[in-house]
Amino acid sequence: MTKLKNGTWVLIADGEKALFLENRTDGEDPFLEVFREEQQENPPNRAQAANRPGRFNDGPSVHRSAVDDTDWHQLAKDRFAAELADILYKKVHAGAFDDIVLVAPPGTLGELRTQLHQEVKGKVIGEIDKTLTNHALEDIEKIVVKELQAA
């Protein structure tokens, strides 16, 4: 059972928004305080794609196959996860935190996990695969404590 300590960071993220929180009390009754917010504008893929999907010849025949267009929306989400990993690396290098809990939907959590530097990975005490970016802080506190106790 993992517990939040005083000073533990909690990163609440999705593909477009991230909240950096710090626990100001103990693990029994945490008080999470937002100290940094990151956001990126990421319109839906249909608004970012310039052309219809391309086609290519399958050889000497007249048959042509469609090519999937780039998913610009997903690419932006992946870049945002890389930016968050970079922020965490700089902060852990500066000694800003000893423990961190990562909270994100499964896709974002997976991308963030692959982007994290080894030093940051060593500080991760828990991962929660939920989307909590638009929840109230009181709800986030309860959900994080409940999920960490269940782990």
DSSP notation for 90-146: HHHHTT--S-EEEE--HHHHHHHHHH--HHHHTTEEEEE----TTS-HHHHHHHHHH
**Quick check: 82 pLDDT over 80?**
yes
What is residue 78's predicted lDDT score, i.e. its pLDDT?
Answer: 83
pLDDT digits (tens, 9 = 90+) for 3-60: 889 999 999 999 889 999 999 998 778 999 999 999 876 555 555 555 555 555 666 6
- The rounded distance, in Å, linking the Cα atoms of 122 and 80 is 21
CA dist., res. 108 & res. 130, Å (int): 10
What average pLDDT score do residues 84-105 get? 96
- DSSP letters spanning 71-94: -HHHHHHHHHHHHHHHHHHHHHHT
**110-147 pLDDT, tens per residue?**
999 999 999 999 999 999 999 999 999 999 999 999 99
The position carrying tokens 């090519």 is 67
Whole-number pLDDT of residue 72 = 66
Q: What is the pLDDT of residue 129?
A: 96
What is the pLDDT, as a whole number, of residue 26?
80
Band (pLDDT 50/70/90 cuts) for residue 83 is very high
Q: Residues 32, 122: contact at Cβ < 8 Å? A: no
Q: Cα separation of 140 and 14, whole Å? A: 14
**pLDDT value at residue 37:** 93
Predicted local distance difference test score (pLDDT) of residue 50: 54
| Distances 88 to 46, 60, 61, 123 between C-alpha atoms, Å | 31, 52, 53, 10
Instruction: Domains for the chain: give ranges and CATH numbers.
Output: 9-40+69-150 (3.30.420.60)
Measured between alpha carbons, how far is 125 from 101 in angstroms, rounded to an integer?
6
Contact partners, residue 75, CB within 8 Å, separation at least 6: none
Res 44: pLDDT: 59
Please check the confidence at residue 98 and state whether its pLDDT lies above 90.
yes
